[in-house]
Each structure stands twice: as C-alpha cells, then as structure tokens.
Amino acid sequence: MVPESWLAERCGAVEMSGVRKLFELGKSLKDPINLSIGQPHFDVPEPVKAAAKAAIGAGHNGYTVTQGIPELLAAMRADVQARFPGQERDVLVTSGTSGGLLLALLATVNPGDEVITADPYFVAYPNLVATVGGTLVTIDTYPDFRLDLNKLEAAISPRTKAVLLSTPSNPTGAVIDAATQKQLAELCRARGVLLVSDEIYRTFHYDTPPLSPATHDPNVLVVEGFGKTYGMTGWRLGWAHGPKRLIQEMAKFQQFTYVCAPSMVQHAGVAAMNFDVSGIVADYRRKRDLMVSALRDDYEFARPGGAFYLFPKVPHGTATEFVTRAIQHNLLVIPGGTFSKRDTHLRISYAATDETLARGIDVLQKLARG
C-alpha cells in the first residue's frame, strides 16, 4: 500500500470525474440507453481517416515540433485571420482541448490565484484549476444559464487571474449572446483579467452563427478542438490561439509535458479543417429540436443554443436520486451535481442515434410521470 506521505496535496484536491464513473457503470449494464457521455455518435469522416493512415504510411510517426506541423499551423492561422481580421493572434497545436486548458492555466495561474467560471461548469474546470494550485470561484447562472456580468464583476478580487467560460456550454448547451460577449471582453480588459474562451463546441451553434468574445479583444485566449466536431475525441487534437507571448509560454510548458500533439493526427487535422461538417451540425440541430419537443411538457429547462446537451431540472427529489432511478430503467444520464454546486438538474446528451434517443425519451417521460 502506498503511504499517504508519498502523495502530493493536490491529489486530495482533484476528484474522479462523475462522468467517467457513469461510463464505467454503463459497461456493466446490458444494452444501456446511454445518454451520458459527450461523445459524438458519428464516425470520423473518411477523408480524415485516410489522411491519418497516409501519414502513418509515409513515416510521419516521430516527434513534431512542439508548436505543431507547418501545414496544420498554416491552416489554423488562415482560419484565425479569416475569423478575426486585423488581429495578431498566434496559434498552438495541443493534445486535446483539455491539454490546451491545462497549458493555459500552467502559464498564468499562481498558487492562490482565483479563476472565475459560471455554475454549471465543465466537470474538468475545478480539477484543472486545483492542479495548478488555484482557487475556482463560481457565479450562479440558474435558472436560464445566462451570464450575469454584474455577478461576474462582483466576483473579481485582487486575486483574480482569469475568467474561464465555455460557449456553447457543457453541460447546459447555453450560448453567450453577442452583446454579452462584447461586454464580457471589455470588462476583463478593463479589470486586467485574462479571458479564456473554451470553444470546443464552436461548430455546434444552432440558432446563430458561431460567436466568440475574441472578436472584441485580441488578448482573449481561445481554446478549440477537433474531437467533438469530427468525432475524433480519442485522437486528442486541439488548438489554442491568442496573444503571442502567452502562446509562447504555453508552448514551453507543452515541450516538457505533452511534447507535441500526436504526429499522424496533426496531418489528419489538415484534412479535417477542409471537411464540411454542416450536414452533421444540421442533424444535431434536429436532434436538439426532437429532445426539446419531446420533453418540454414534463421537464423544466432552458432551450440549448448549442453543443449537444439538455440540462433539465428533475421533476422531484434530487438529481442523484433521479439518476439512480433512471439506472434501474437501464438509462444513463449524469446528475447535475457533477457540474454544479446544486444537485437539482441532470445532463442529457443527445449525441446518439435516433433509436437510442427514442428509448431514452420513453424512459424520461415515464420517470417524470411516475
């Protein structure tokens, strides 16, 4: 047995993901109705697969330069210049979006510094901040999950180093509207606080074009990913773009941690950036509308504007109790306490086949009415 004295204090500050616990539980159920994991149900597009295979066959299997292969960096810079004309933004290829977020925190947050985020929040945020010795400060966004800038400004203290937000949000699917994004960027700039915009679900905007607070300030750090957009979550490919000095410091930490993103996956990333995913996005918009229509009479929720999650309030009891009952009906969903200080809601992922969604809807309706 490992003596407790061997373990760093940060081990106690980082908890096992509740999402992963459900993932493991799902393996033990027979034919579960799995609406728990934020894993796209579609396969990696064939041109992207072919590019990865070709890269392996061509011998692109060694280390790459830390910042990323030239072809992918060029494609990313072109994309950034098109979306943020006139801004001087540098880019970095990362080992997934989570890798990019950790590098950002390593480069900016000192022990004792505070990082502000919205509640509900992505499950990794408290643990990533704890890993670097920071303190997570949350601002409540219930019941409609809209960002209240007055609450955010009130939460800023002399110890605040960064504001970290996802839009569209995991777990709520909420999108920060254009006017609020502009005010958010202006507030962070005025208060000298770094704004980190987690945009892994950027492609999945259903009611508006993709939005980013970086439109209003070149110093906003944006972290994006390929996993959700192209169904390649296990390939671990992400990227970050923002002010050159910050990107350089993140690259330095990557050199001595992840070293580089997987080489063959970077070559596949070039093909991915040229692949049209509008059909996939349209299909997920349809699934969003299907879930909203089927559950709105039985559950209270804010209509999600993006990502692929619904975050309804449970009709009775706590979310943990509700999820326990759902498991008894072979349905896997995530209790909201995994993403929040409240245990009143649950996260439903509609990244699933229509058949699976229909089975899930049937169980959810019965649980609400039972």
pLDDT band, residue 11 (cuts 50/70/90): confident
3-class state of residue 108 by DSSP = helix
Q: All domains of the chain, ordered by start, with CATH?
A: 4-44+277-369 (3.90.1150.10), 62-272 (3.40.640.10)
Task: Using a pLDDT cut of 70, give the percent of the chain over it.
Answer: 96
Task: Look up tokens 């106690």; give the residue.
Answer: 12
| pLDDT exceeds cutoff 70 at 20 | no
Tell me the mean pLDDT in the region 336-352.
Answer: 96
3-state secondary structure of 204: coil
Start-to-end C-alpha separation, the chain: 47
pLDDT tens profile 180-201:
999 999 999 999 999 999 999 9
What distance in Å separates the CA atoms of residue 198 and residue 137, rounded to the nearest whole number?
Answer: 17
Assessment of whether the complete model's pTM goes beyond 0.85: yes
CA atoms within 13 A on the CB side of 218: 13
Tens-place pLDDT, residues 69-101: 999 999 999 999 999 999 999 999 999 999 999
Residue 145 near residue 120 (C-beta atoms within 8 A): yes
Mutual angle of helices 244-255 and 96-108, in 10-degree steps: 110
As a whole number of angstroms, the distance between CA 241 and CA 198 comes to: 11
Say if residue 6's pLDDT is above 90. no
Residue 336 sits at the vertex; the CA angle it makes with 38 and 170, to the nearest 5 degrees, is 40
What is the Cα 98 distance to its own chain's centre?
A: 8
Which pLDDT value is given to residue 23?
57
Contact indicator for 256, 231 with CB cutoff of 8 Å = no
Q: What angle in degrees, to the nearest 10, is found between the helix axes of 70-83 and 263-272?
A: 40
Residue 12 has a pLDDT of 82
| Close Cβ partners of 355 (under 8 Å, ≥ 6 residues apart) | none
Between the alpha carbon of residue 363 and those of residues 106, 111, 137, the distances in Å are 43, 46, 36
Q: How far apart are CA 84 and CA 100, in angstroms?
A: 20
Q: What's the pLDDT at 7? A: 85
49: Cβ contacts below 8 Å, ≥ 6 apart: 268
Residue keyed to tokens 């060029």: 74
pLDDT for 22: 61
Identity of the amino acid at 54 = A
What distance in Å separates the CA atoms of residue 142 and residue 134, rounded to the nearest whole number?
A: 25
Please give the Cα distance from 154 to 137 (Å, whole number). 11
